[in-house]
Amino acid sequence: MTKNIQAVIKQFIIEGTFEEAIIFGDGLINTTYKVKTKEADKPNYLLQVVNHHIFKNVPELTKNIKRVTDHLRAKLEQIPGSDIKRQVLTPIDTVDGKGYVKDAEGNYWRVFLFIENARSYNKLSNAKQAYVGGKAFGQFQSRLADLPGEPLYPVLPDFHNTEMRILNFIERVKQNPVGRLKEVQAEVDFLMARSEEYKKVVQMGREGILPERIVHQDTKFNNVLLDENDEILCVIDLDTVMPGFVCYDIGDAIRNGANTGLEDDPNLENVSMDIDLFEGFIKGFLEETKSVLTPAEVDTLAFGAKLLTYEQAVRFLDDYIDGDNYYKVNAPDHNLVRTRAQIKLLQSMEEQFEQMEAIVKQYAS
Ligand code: ADP
Ligand code: GN1
Ligand code: MG
């Protein structure tokens, strides 16, 4: 593998001499390496194999990321004291100018500057981190609001189209391709009982009640890098940045970050929504966005947390029933464990929904 990696790296315009590549991070989709260079005064790099079974058009994806990072960099250049190489991802170009390398096996590779001394947490430990996370994604969205040119390429069309996800799920249940349905009937019933409720946001979009904006769409807390003092450094993992609705970002950030347990916690007693972390996310996010959000958008923010949790449960269960073709799994029942944890989290949000709405109202006014 190292030989292959060295051959790939040579095709990027990097400084310094390749020393080693170490597998890095906890992403469920791409494969990531930290590439160290020998010289202390040369940068290190982050090398990724893009999952092209999911991201089918890597050339367009590469262009999206370049446009987004160029725009964010231009914004930072206007802010005195910005640390440009650490506050925005820097994609490294290839010798042929394409920005990615396709190897003989059909894998797509890309490289970014490695952001040094950054913290990336899978789990939050306090409400300040939630506030910083909410602020980071709010700021990301507001800085991209004036991205010039044509709309970003829809790399994953209908990514958060819950209505479509439900229809696909119903089809998957019908097909039962690997015979796992009998073990999960209770989970299927739980999700199907709520299917009408969670089509609402897509329907509001279709009716023109909600505007589309450029949003991140994969706002796990480990997709924001923090600095030594737990302040915002950089929003990363830009593959899914596309037009979508505001509630997707804050909703997914809360789904992932305000959970008292893990996304794949086998012990459901650990799993619930921490209302203080919820408040932190909402406070930070609204500080950055409330001046532009419409009342209809504000109305969807608390709902968005439930929506994205519901949708994630559908996605994990769909993958389980399908025989684990989408998410990386560490055990045959991993996707089922994840589904159950998302369902437990959703129940906890349902119980606290009135309070969640009151918090949104408080910070939106
Ligand atoms: P995935 O799509 O698989 O989640 P990410 O782009 O989020 O991949 O990268 C995986 C992890 O690698 C991140 O959670 C973060 O910890 C780390 N990471 C990503 N990009 C950088 C970077 N440029 N510098 C330092 N660390 C990074
Ligand atoms: C994936 O790539 P990563 O690990 O940040 C997924 C998200 C899910 C998340 C669940 C492109 O995110 O949508 O919410 O796993 N990304 C894609 O952990 O499907
Ligand atoms: Mg990630």
Q: Rg (Cα) of the chain, in Å, rounded?
A: 20
Instruction: Return the pLDDT at 25.
Output: 84
Residues 292 and 352 in one domain: yes
Is 121 part of a structural domain of the chain? no
Residues 77 and 142 in one domain: no
Structural domain of 337: 127-364
Q: Which atom of ligand 2 is nearest to the CA of 220?
A: 5
Residues 299 and 210 in one domain: yes
Residues 99 and 171 in one domain: no
Give the C-alpha separation, 40 to 42, whole Å: 6
Residues 98 and 148 in one domain: no
Q: What CATH number has the domain bearing residue 211?
A: 3.90.1200.10
Tokens 């009982």 identify what position? Answer: 193
Nearest residue (CA) to ligand 1, atom 7: 237
Query: Which residue among 220, 236, 315 is best mutated to probe the pocket of ligand 2, counting the most ligand atoms within 8 A of its Cβ?
Result: 220
Residues 245 and 353 in one domain: yes
- The residue from 113, 137, 165 where one domain ends is 113
SS (H, E, C) 281-315: HHHHHHHHHCCCCCHHHHHCHHHHHHHHHHHHHHH
Is 122 part of a structural domain of the chain? no
Neighbours of 291 (CB within 10 A): 8
Q: Is the pTM here over 0.75, yes or no?
A: yes
Domain count, the chain: 2
Instruction: Return the pLDDT at 92.
Output: 98
Nearest residue (CA) to ligand 2, atom 19: 29
- Ligand 1 pocket, residue 33 CB under 6 Å: no
Q: Which atom of ligand 1 is nearest to the CA of 90?
A: 23
Mind listing the pLDDT tens digit of every residue in the chain (365 residues)? Answer: 667 899 999 999 999 999 999 999 887 889 999 999 999 999 999 999 999 999 999 999 999 999 999 999 999 999 999 999 999 999 999 999 999 999 998 999 999 999 999 999 999 999 999 999 999 999 999 999 999 999 999 999 999 999 999 999 999 999 999 999 999 999 999 999 999 999 999 999 999 999 999 999 999 999 999 999 999 999 999 999 999 999 999 999 999 999 999 999 999 999 999 999 999 999 999 999 999 999 999 999 999 999 999 999 999 999 999 999 999 999 999 999 999 999 999 999 999 999 999 999 999 99
Instruction: Return the pLDDT at 145.
Output: 95
Q: What CATH number has the domain bearing residue 103?
A: 3.30.200.20
Residues 195 and 292 in one domain: yes
Residues 93 and 139 in one domain: no
Which residues make beta-bridge pairs with 112? Answer: 46, 91
Give the C-alpha separation, 89 to 83, whole Å: 11
Residues 93 and 142 in one domain: no
Is 321 part of a structural domain of the chain? yes
Instruction: Return the pLDDT at 12.
Output: 98
Is 148 part of a structural domain of the chain? yes
What's the 282 CA to ligand 1 centre distance in angstroms? 24
Which residues have their alpha-adjacent CB atom under 5 A from ion ligand 3?
A: 27, 223, 237
Give me the half-sphere count of Cα atoms (radius 13 Å) on the Cβ side of residue 26.
13
